Amino acid sequence: MCVCSFIIHNKDTFFNNATRSRIVHHILQRIKYEEGKNKIGLNRLLTNGSYEAAFPLHEGSYRSKNSIRTHGAENHRHLLYECWASWGVWYKYQPLDLVRRYFGEKIGLYFAWLGWYTGMLFPAAFIGLFVFLYGVMTLDHCQVSKEVCQATDIIMCPVCDKYCPFMKLSDSCVYAKVTHLFDNGATVFFAVFMAVWATVFLEFWKRRRAVIAYDWDLIDWEEEEEEIRPQFEAKYSKKERMNPISGKPEPYQAFADKCSRLIVSASGIFFMICVVIAAVFGIVIYRVVTVSTFAAFKWALIRNNSQVATTGTAVCINFCIIMLLNVLYEKVALLLTNLEQPRTESEWENSFTLKMFLFQFVNLNSSTFYIAFFLGRLIQNWWTRRKVRQEHGPERKISFPQWERDYNLQPMNAYGLFDEYLEMILQFGFTTIFVAAFPLAPLLALLNNIIEIRLDAYKFVTQWRRPLASRAKDIGIWYGILEGIGILSVITNAFVIAITSDFIPRLVYAYKYGPCAGQGEAGQKCMVGYVNASLSVFRISDFENRSEPESDGSEFSGTPLKYCRYRDYRDPPHSLVPYGYTLQFWHVLAARLAFIIVFEHLVFCIKHLISYLIPDLPKDLRDRMRREKYLIQEMMYEAELERLQKERKERKKNGKAHHNEWP
């Protein structure tokens, strides 16, 4: 164990010298392996309770400039606190080299990525704000919302069986205006922009990562062969086989066993996702059922606001279910990952990450919750910030030794940076995937992240024990997830614009049915009459008995209503095929489908072109790397040339001796 203590003690001072640090890292890895294998060393002492904790020490108090080292070395913790974790420096670049030096490459890369993402959010936030403002500015000129607000004479059919009342179309005036804010011509442009933005983001991150990897000397570094998890070893110790890499015997999981475990695990995930989807459908059914219950409620207050009451309770129930499922699912994911019996720690981590991400993504599905997610995080961060500032009282000057002071801090959580990454990647997903539904998302994300960086920094520097430094070349499985989100976002945006938004029906109306049909124009004046054209007529006497409304609609004009209107493109009741789809319906449907095809082909084409055009390495870095290679080759060339000439001379000498040979 002598080497071990020597290394650990000297680790910090070693970290700058690249070659040495690589060897040290390997030796540490090796020792860790031996420890895990033979159940000796620090971990053993920790598990059996001989030691309570083991952690690297901070370099001193984050308030004082003095390091605990006696050599008068600088206290990097204090430096980090001053120029990274304070709120005052929120507008500055992060001191990434210092972060790497103090916390290691893995944590350094997380903050590099977070900073990069935040920086890239600026243009997106700016354009998103502009799109939103465009919606606000054109609100008064919008023909559709104007028509909705003026339509006091259009009576809409009840939204539920029996107890729901007839309503004027003009009652949904506010809703129509809010819709215009998020669903206007600029939204389509913004969706294309964000798809391109996501691609550019990933492509430039590759370049940024390459620069960081070069600067931090990670280019040639490769993960060592990992040790086997003790759980895996315990489970499969009976069957052994030769490890093809190390040539030593090791426990072995049969293929059939692995497969069956994977299948069980996959069906577990599938089941959980089905539960989430069932919950969503349950909420929808709940709304349909309760809206009529509330409409028939004995309290007038609830009866008159049955819609609001339904939505309110539905949201509450949905929220409870989501929270419940979240707690439940983390347990299930842990159970399933352990059931899979991954061979190594990193396999375990990847498996768990994928499970958690998939589930969280499906769970936080509805747009309500993703807006809640943004605002919630934002408010939470502001709150934490406030609290932090208040706690920021004068430091007590009791001079505990550093190890005792650090012992009182929280250890970094068990899954490493998992929570930090998960939150950011979910945010990235919501920002790009539902961008057509909410163009302010990038702005909220930006504000959140500016706080997030400093808050995370504060946590790492002042609240947590110093984590064990570890190396990483990239952000791991998260990069693949980001790429998947990039592709998914194009598809969902195409469908959101084509199917759920009013964009396509309006275009079809303007060019084919409106007052300027056939003239190739689509200004606001061409939208005159759109609202009326998008509503179909229903004959009230066609109601089935059980769904016939209680009211006969005489509150509007004094006499019982004969007809009401509903949103669809169907023939009127007195036509050849009553309530059959009109030609306009098929027009709109064809246009919707054509839009999806055109949008997807166009955007994917742009995406591919961009990722083809942007090289993975910046020219500057590539030149530098090639220059290094060139110099090595030059040296090799000189040496080899010398050697050959020497050989040749010797050969000539020998040739003079034996005249009979010719090479």
What backbone torsions phi and psi does residue 410 show, to the nearest 5 degrees?
Answer: -80, 145
> What is the amino acid identity at position 525?
K
If DSSP states are collapsed to H, E and C, what string results for 538-596? EEHHHCCHHHCCCCCCHHHHCCCCCEEEEECCECCCCCCCCCCECHHHHHHHHHHHHHH
Choose between 39 and 626: whose C-beta lies nearer to a second copy. 626
Told to check if 555 binds a second copy by CB under 8 A, we report no
CA distance 180 to 191: 16
Binding to a second copy in span 488-507, by CB under 8 A: 491
Contact 73, 405 (CB under 8 A): no
**Nearest distance in Å: CB 640, a second copy:** 5
Contact 168, 156 (CB under 8 A): yes
Told to check if 225 binds a second copy by CB under 8 A, we report yes
**Nearest distance in Å: CB 6, a second copy:** 7
CA distance 467 to 416: 9
Choose between 45 and 590: whose C-beta lies nearer to a second copy. 590
Choose between 2 and 300: whose C-beta lies nearer to a second copy. 2
Which span sits near a second copy by CB under 8 A: 58-66, 162-170, 219-227, 292-300?
219-227
Which span sits near a second copy by CB under 8 A: 3-11, 212-220, 294-302, 341-349?
3-11
CA distance 132 to 182: 7
Told to check if 72 binds a second copy by CB under 8 A, we report no
Among 82, 224, 474, 548, binds a second copy (CB under 8 A): 224
Told to check if 644 binds a second copy by CB under 8 A, we report yes
CA distance 222 to 201: 26
Told to check if 219 binds a second copy by CB under 8 A, we report no
Choose between 9 and 396: whose C-beta lies nearer to a second copy. 9
DSSP state of 468: P
Which span sits near a second copy by CB under 8 A: 149-157, 336-344, 374-382, 618-626?
618-626
Contact 201, 120 (CB under 8 A): yes
**Nearest distance in Å: CB 161, a second copy:** 27
**Nearest distance in Å: CB 312, a second copy:** 37
Binding to a second copy in span 619-638, by CB under 8 A: 623-624, 626-627, 629-630, 633, 636-637
Told to check if 589 binds a second copy by CB under 8 A, we report yes
Told to check if 26 binds a second copy by CB under 8 A, we report yes
Q: Which residues pair with 155 in a beta bridge?
A: 168
Told to check if 256 binds a second copy by CB under 8 A, we report no
Which two structure tokens, joined as six digits, stand for 79? 């430096």
Q: SS3 for 168? A: strand
Choose between 498 and 526: whose C-beta lies nearer to a second copy. 498
Which two structure tokens, joined as six digits, stand for 438? 């909410």
How far is Cα of residue 168 from the mean position of the Cα atoms in its chain?
42
**Nearest distance in Å: CB 485, a second copy:** 14
Among 129, 522, 596, 614, binds a second copy (CB under 8 A): 596
Choose between 189 and 637: whose C-beta lies nearer to a second copy. 637
Told to check if 3 binds a second copy by CB under 8 A, we report yes
CA distance 144 to 517: 17
- What are the DSSP calls for 207-229, one per residue? HHHHHHHHHTT-SS--PPPPPBP
Told to check if 583 binds a second copy by CB under 8 A, we report yes
Q: How many CB atoms lie within 10 A of CB 284?
A: 11
Told to check if 264 binds a second copy by CB under 8 A, we report no
**Nearest distance in Å: CB 513, a second copy:** 14
Question: Which strands form 535-539's sheet, in the order they lie side by side?
Answer: 167-168, 155-156, 563-567, 535-539
Choose between 222 and 419: whose C-beta lies nearer to a second copy. 222
Told to check if 30 binds a second copy by CB under 8 A, we report yes
Contact 217, 25 (CB under 8 A): no
CA distance 378 to 445: 8
Among 594, 609, 616, 654, binds a second copy (CB under 8 A): 594
Choose between 91 and 662: whose C-beta lies nearer to a second copy. 662
Contact 238, 254 (CB under 8 A): no
What sign does the CA torsion over 412, 415, 416, 418 have? Answer: negative
Q: SS3 for 293? A: helix
What sign does the CA torsion over 53, 58, 59, 62 have? Answer: negative
Told to check if 281 binds a second copy by CB under 8 A, we report no
Told to check if 263 binds a second copy by CB under 8 A, we report no
Contact 189, 124 (CB under 8 A): no
Which span sits near a second copy by CB under 8 A: 161-169, 199-207, 566-574, 587-595?
587-595
Choose between 328 and 609: whose C-beta lies nearer to a second copy. 609
Which span sits near a second copy by CB under 8 A: 78-86, 261-269, 327-335, 597-605?
597-605
Among 521, 572, 648, 654, binds a second copy (CB under 8 A): 648
Among 39, 235, 601, 646, binds a second copy (CB under 8 A): 601
CA triple 464-465-466, angle to 5 deg? 110
How many chain residues touch a second copy (CB under 8 A)?
Answer: 44
CA distance 359 to 401: 44
Which two structure tokens, joined as six digits, stand for 91? 């507008």
**Nearest distance in Å: CB 197, a second copy:** 22
Told to check if 576 binds a second copy by CB under 8 A, we report no
Give the closest residue to 533 by CA, choosing from 569, 564, 508: 569
Residues near a second copy (CB under 8 A) are 2-3, 6, 9-10, 23, 26-27, 30, 222, 224-225, 244-247, 491, 581, 583, 586-587, 589-590, 593-594, 596-597, 600-601, 623-624, 626-627, 629-630, 633, 636-637, 640-641, 644-645, 648, 663
